[in-house]
Structure 1
Amino acid sequence: MKVYIIGIGLIGGSFALDVKANFPEAKIFGIDASNANLARAKELKLIDEKASMADLKEADVVFVAVPVDVSLGVISKALDQVGENTLVIDAGSTKSKLCQAVSNHENRRNFLAAHPISGTEYSGPEAATPNLFRDKTNIICEVEKTAFKLQERALEIFSKLGMRIRYMDPESHDRHIAYVSHLSHISSFMLGKTVLEKEKNERDIFDLAGSGFASTVRLAKSSPAMWTPIFEQNKENVLETLNGYISNLTQFKNLIENGDFEEVFNEMERTNHIKTILNGIN
């Protein structure tokens, strides 16, 4: 199996590691805008060879793991090049604009829109992690538009990598993911910003930071080059989630200002219900 990965960073590199581990006969080719990334990926044995877009006609599988604004053009170009039996999979966290962009492509049947919900705050080839996708949910959109035999190939790969599959339309995906992923990153970035601004005057603040702060602000270490296009492509849903979040923050602030700590307690106690939901997921 010839697997071409476009974008050899955390997601693309981790995919390469897991394909190598589960499909020993697979040969992995890397395509990246950065020659340094390609060279490093080869040093780390994430890929076997460097390649170019023109080589995609030889591919059995193409896995696209680039920022979502770049993916709009990259996937169309990949579909221009592929052979009749080539499967093209993307891993981006927005789906509506992408699915619209390729909807009329003559090779639309070769494309599977996917979003493995996994990752870390790190980026680049060095961030590649074995078993990153194991026991993680992989959302697939518009599966009916992908050729059946290529669906089967994709599901075999996802199964070997240990992913759980959910099917969803692109609009629902973008709406739901704005709440459980995109808002979390915004919240983390802004918490980090708030503390950094205060730290200018209070040098001891980071000495006092414990595991709670570290875990809450962890996502603020994520790549702005990846997340800015996500917020742009999912702008309407992100704004909806932010409005709700800001409203709750304002309400909580008002309770503290008014000295209503009984209701502060009640608000937090009601929110404790999320433990039941998250325990069910885990």
Structure 2
Amino acid sequence: MKIHIVGTGLIGGSFAVGLRKVFPEVEIAGSDLNEEHLEKAQELRIIDHAEKLEEVAQADVVILAVPVDVAKKVAVKVLDHAGANTLVFDAGSTKAGLCEAISGHQNRRNFLAAHPIAGTEFSGPTAVVEDLFRNKTMIICEVEKTAFKLQERALEIFQKLGMRIRYMDPVSHDRHIAYVSHLSHISSFMLGKTVLQKEENEKDIFDLAGSGFASTVRLAKSSPAMWTPIFQQNKENILEILEEYIANLTTFRDLIRNEDFKEVFLEMERTNHIKTILNGIK
């Protein structure tokens, strides 16, 4: 099997090393606008060699692991050059705009719109994790628009990587991901900003920070270059959930201000129900 990875950072690189583990004879080419990433990916043996996008016709599988603001353009270009039996799938965090952009392409049936619910706060080839996708969910959108034999190839890859499959339409995907992923990153960034502002006058604050703080602001270490386009692409859904989140924060603030600690307790107790949901997530 020959695979071409477009974007050799955390996600693309983790696909590469994960696939090399389950398909030992695989040949992996890569391309990346970031020359340093491309060189590092070859140095670390994440990919075997560099290759131009125009050469993807020879690939059995092309994986697009690029920021969502360039994904539409790259997807169209890759589909322009894809061979008749080339499977192309992406790994982006927004789907509606991408699916719309390629809807009329003559090679639309080569494409599978996908989103692995996996990642870390780190980026680049040095952040690659071999088993990043094991026991994680792969969301697939508009599966019916992908040629059946290429669907089968994709499912074999995802299953060998140890992934669970979930099917969803692009609009629902973007709305749900705004709730469980995009809002989490915004919260983390803004909490980090708030503490940094306070730290200007209180130098001991980070000496007092424990594991709870570290886990809560972990996502604030994520790449702004990746997340700004995501917020832009999913603007409407993010604004909707932010309004609700801000309203909940305001209510909680007012309860404390009014010394209604009975209701503070009840608010937290009601929210404790999320434990029963998260206990099912590995």
TM over 0.5: yes
SS of 1:11 mapped into structure 2: helix
Partner of 1:67: 67
Partner of 1:165: 165
Partner amino acid, structure 2, of 1:89: F
- Could you say what the CA RMSD is over the residues aligned between the two structures, in angstroms? 0.5
Partner amino acid, structure 2, of 1:261: F
Task: Determine the C-alpha separation between the residues in 2 that align with 1:225 and 1:175.
Answer: 22
Matched, 1:181 2:181: yes
Task: Determine the C-alpha separation between the residues in 1 that align with 2:73 and 2:91.
Answer: 14
Partner of 2:268: 268
Map Cα deviations across residues 85-118 of structure 1 (whole Å, 9 max, x no partner).
Answer: 0000100000000000000000000000000000
Task: Determine the C-alpha separation between the residues in 2 that align with 1:97 and 1:31.
Answer: 23
Task: Determine the C-alpha separation between the residues in 2 that align with 1:279 and 1:211.
Answer: 20
Structure 1 segments (4+ residues) deviating >3 Å: none
Map Cα deviations across residues 242-267 of structure 1 (whole Å, 9 max, x no partner).
Answer: 00100000000000010000000000
Deviation at 1:35, TM superposition (A): 1.3
Map Cα deviations across residues 167-203 of structure 1 (whole Å, 9 max, x no partner).
Answer: 0000000000000000000000000000000011111
Partner of 2:218: 218
Partner of 1:81: 81
Task: Determine the C-alpha separation between the residues in 1 that align with 2:249 and 2:209.
Answer: 22
Partner amino acid, structure 2, of 1:80: D
Partner amino acid, structure 2, of 1:226: M
Task: Determine the C-alpha separation between the residues in 2 that align with 1:89 and 1:177.
Answer: 19
SS of 1:153 mapped into structure 2: helix
Task: Determine the C-alpha separation between the residues in 2 that align with 1:222 and 1:249.
Answer: 24
SS of 1:165 mapped into structure 2: strand
For structure 2, the 5+ residue unaligned runs are none
Deviation at 1:280, TM superposition (A): 2.2
Deviation at 1:281, TM superposition (A): 2.7
Partner of 1:49: 49
SS of 1:203 mapped into structure 2: coil
Task: Determine the C-alpha separation between the residues in 2 that align with 1:105 and 1:224.
Answer: 31
Partner amino acid, structure 1, of 2:10: L
Give the TM-score, by structure 2 length. Answer: 0.99
For structure 1, the 5+ residue unaligned runs are none
Partner of 1:155: 155
Partner amino acid, structure 2, of 1:132: L
SS of 1:42 mapped into structure 2: helix
Task: Determine the C-alpha separation between the residues in 2 that align with 1:271 and 1:164.
Answer: 27
Percent same amino acid among aligned pairs? 72
Task: Determine the C-alpha separation between the residues in 2 that align with 1:200 and 1:81.
Answer: 53
Task: Determine the C-alpha separation between the residues in 2 that align with 1:35 and 1:267.
Answer: 50
SS of 1:106 mapped into structure 2: coil
Deviation at 1:28, TM superposition (A): 0.3
Task: Determine the C-alpha separation between the residues in 1 that align with 2:152 and 2:221.
Answer: 36
Pairing of 1:1-282 with structure 2 (within 5 A): 1-282=1-282
